[in-house]
Amino acid sequence: MKKYFLVFVFLFFTSFSSYSQDFAKFSIAGGPIFGWYVPSVSDLNSEITKIGLPEFSKSGFFAVGGGGFIDVPIVKGLRIGGVGVGFSQLQNAGLESAGFQNVVKTAKFSYKMGGLSVEYVHKISSSFDYSLGGIIGIGSIDLSISQFSKDLQNWNIGGIGPDTLRSNSYNSFDYSKTLYTVQPQVGIGYQMTSFLYLKLNAGYVFTVSGNWKLNDVLEVSNIPSGIKADGLNVNLGFNVGLFVK
């Protein structure tokens, strides 16, 4: 019996050692992310042009953020991480426009998200790999619209009071809603140096959201359903960390 037990132990550790060599390498890293988001802005542009503002870019928005990850050696190819990213763009009219002699109007469209990423990573070579996975997160979309008098260009601290609000009026409306996001994505990774890993991802953002609110208090209805953050996303991450092969 002892003989069979020793043979079993030997085979167990031999197979474990052999299998462990197939484990994904251990790594822990993180750094900045730079991306390009291309949500549909047709409904948004239709609304802001009604008040004389120029359209937001149809080709997309530059996004910045950061993230990190850890390769889990126990499950071959499993990578778990976190990411936070967002973008904003401001449009204005009236600063140089003859059509807005006394008024400046602005609209700012913003998106931000933070979430958990889960990927399966497969090595192509010693330097390259590809991944399949996605991100589950929570965030918000914001639309801020303001209008104010050009008289405010002249500094007059003594003029800020109830008796001058009519002549130096300022109106601001901040609409926002919470988003729950799912983003399936594919990626290509490149181990540039022993401590620097580049990761290019491409995916599509799907969102489920609640109601729009004004100043986080008053629920607002009839805002076009097409004003949302769903769309294509491409980003490049620069990850610095520990990579054990």
- Look at 13-17, 44-48, 82-86 and tell me which has the smallest mean pLDDT: 13-17
For residue 24, report the phi and psi dihedrals to the nearest 5 degrees.
Answer: -60, 145
The pLDDT value given to residue 16: 38
User: What pLDDT digit, counting tens, does each position of 156-213 carry?
Assistant: 666 555 554 455 566 889 999 999 999 999 999 999 999 999 999 999 999 999 899 9
User: Is residue 47 pLDDT above 50, yes or no?
Assistant: yes
What is the number of other CB atoms lying within 10 angstroms of the CB of residue 222?
A: 6
8-state DSSP, 221: -
The pLDDT value given to residue 94: 65
Q: Where are the alpha helices (DSSP H) in the chain?
A: 2-20, 42-48
How far apart, in whole angstroms, are the C-alpha atoms of residue 199 and residue 189? 4
User: Is residue 18 pLDDT above 50, yes or no?
Assistant: no
Query: Model confidence at 230, in pLDDT bands (50, 70, 90)?
Result: very high
The pLDDT value given to residue 152: 67
Give me the chain's average pLDDT, please: 84
The pLDDT value given to residue 182: 96
How far apart, in whole angstroms, are the C-alpha atoms of residue 52 and residue 100? 9
User: Is residue 37 pLDDT above 70, yes or no?
Assistant: yes
The pLDDT value given to residue 74: 84
User: Is residue 10 pLDDT above 90, yes or no?
Assistant: no
> 3-class DSSP state for residue 245?
coil
User: Is residue 23 pLDDT above 60, yes or no?
Assistant: no
Query: Model confidence at 59, in pLDDT bands (50, 70, 90)?
Result: very high
* Domains with residue ranges and CATH for the chain: 28-244 (2.40.160.20)
User: What pLDDT digit, counting tens, does each position of 81-139 carry?
Assistant: 999 999 999 988 766 554 566 788 899 999 999 999 999 999 999 899 999 999 999 99
